[in-house]
Amino acid sequence: MSDAFVSLAGLTLSYGETVAVPDLDLDIAEGELIALLGPSGCGKTTTMRAIAGLLTPARGRIVIDGEDVTRTPANKRGIGLVFQSYALFPHLSAFENVAFGLRLRKRPEAEIRARAEAGMATVGLTGFEGRRPAEMSGGQQQRLALARSLVMEPKVLLLDEPLSNLDARLRLDMRNELQRVQKDTGITMVFVTHDQSEALALADRIVLMKDGRIEQSGPPAELYAEPATRFAADFMGFENIFGVEGPDLVSETGRLPLGYPTDSPILAWRPDGVAVGAGPHSGRVTASSFAGGHREYVIDCPLGRIKANAPIDTAEVPLGRDIAFDLPQATARPLAA
């Protein structure tokens, strides 16, 4: 608590009568890169807007760098925000977009020029000063929006779905760019995403949210390997999740003998964790597709659909044939109810 740079305590956020986030506690260390991860409607964007000051909390406190900013208006908070749509000013040149905040602070012209130029250089946009946002590509617009926030030297930089509007190659570039900027400036960053792969690749710590509450929080590797709940496991790619009843796995459609003891009420396997070709169970192949390094099977069995990945060097089992499989204890992830 004492070393938290950003601290949200008992934060309750609502839109009119609708409570989007009830009673949220979250501490963020200085220089940390946090991902607020969750499906749409989980309260991640609402939380980010509250940190920015665009939304006044119904209850609770927001402390940034030792200062209670709960009632501080957005324009005095010293926070940067890169919008999902970038929200660049179309009537201004790229340079003037970056200089916008500095001009508001009435800095001397020489300082504005130097800092805006340095800001554009940081994101690799030197030479684009005279362009209008409409004359720039999506990736360039995003970097411009990033530069516009960074030149203000904010205490915290918030990013709303920073990679979602970019194509696959630009995503990778931008991801590296964000990591580099974060490493160079040491700035505290909070970004919002619904894409678990983005969160895993970029964040120091993932805060997984559901219905306005924190479902689980931890380093990417921990969330990936050890999700605690059904929701977290589902979000982290455990596509086979079943309840345990006595000696059996159960689902809505049927049951299957587990074959080994467990104390967990729920067990989950990734498609990679399901062994195919041999094992005590058997089911019918209803879908099969080549995915480069492996083959993806969908197997119909009494539990319903099992998703399994088979090594590419094994012989393909044709559609409609039966295939043997195992749900091994070694790859089973026990979950809380």
Partner 1 sequence: MSRLATWLILAATLTFLIGPFLIVIFAGLSAGEALAFPPQGLSLKWYAKVFTVESFRASFALSMFLAVFGTLAALLIGIPAAYALNRYDLPGAETIRTIVAAPIIVPGIIVGLALLRYFVVPLNVTITLALFVTHTALVLPYAVRVVSSSLNNLRADMEEAAVILGCTRLQAFTKVVLPNIRGGILAAFILGFVASFNEVPASLFLSGPGVRTLPIDMLSYMEITFDPSVAALSALLAFMSVAIVFLAERLLGFSRYV
Nearer to partner 1, 149 or 193 (CB): 149
Looking at the Cβ atoms of 76 and 169, the one nearer to partner 1 is 76
Q: Rounded to the nearest whole angstrom, what is the least distance from the CB of residue 91 to partner 1 in the complex?
A: 4
What is the spatial distance between Cα 324 and Cα 316, in angstroms, rounded to a whole number? 13
What's at 111, amino acid-wise? E
Minimum distance of partner 1 from residue 103's CB (angstroms): 9
Q: Which is nearer to partner 1, 133 or 273 (CB)?
A: 133
- Minimum CB separation of residue 150 from partner 1 in Å reads 12
Map tokens 């399901």 to a residue.
Answer: 274
CA atoms within 13 A on the CB side of 289: 4
For partner 1, the closer of residues 87 and 324 by Cβ is 87
**Site of interaction with partner 1 (CB under 8 A):** 52-54, 73-77, 79-81, 83, 85, 87-91, 100-101, 104-105, 148-149, 152
**Shortest separation between residue 50's beta carbon and partner 1, angstroms:** 13
Rounded least distance, CB 117 to partner 1, Å: 18
Q: Tokens 């993932």 sit at which residue? A: 206
How many Å apart are CA 148 and CA 157, to the nearest integer?
A: 11
Q: How far is the CB of 81 from partner 1 (least distance, A)?
A: 5
Residue-by-residue DSSP string for 129-145: TT--GGGS-HHHHHHHH
Closest CB to partner 1 among 194 and 230? 194
**Cβ nearer to partner 1, comparing 122 with 149:** 149
Nearer to partner 1, 103 or 183 (CB): 103
Cβ atoms of residues 24 and 60 within 8 Å: yes
DSSP characters over 60-118: EEEEETTEE-TTS-GGGS-EEEE-TT----TTS-HHHHHHHHHHHTT--HHHHHHHHHH
Strand order in the sheet with 248-250: 255-257, 248-250, 240-245, 266-269, 333-335
Nearest approach, Cβ of 3 to partner 1 (angstroms)?
A: 26
Give the DSSP H or E segment for 177.
helix 168-185
Q: How far is CA 86 from the centre of its chain?
A: 18
For partner 1, the closer CB: 78 or 277: 78
User: Shortest approach of partner 1 to residue 73 CB, angstroms?
Assistant: 8
Q: Which backbone phi and psi does 211 adopt, to 5 degrees?
A: 50, 40
In Å, how far are 162, 172, 190, 299 from 178, measured between CA atoms? Answer: 9, 10, 11, 40
Nearer to partner 1, 52 or 308 (CB): 52
Shortest distance in whole angstroms from residue 80 CB to partner 1: 7
**What residue type is 243 in one-letter code?**
G
d(CA 5, CA 3): 6
The DSSP element (H or E) to which 176 belongs, if any, is helix 168-185
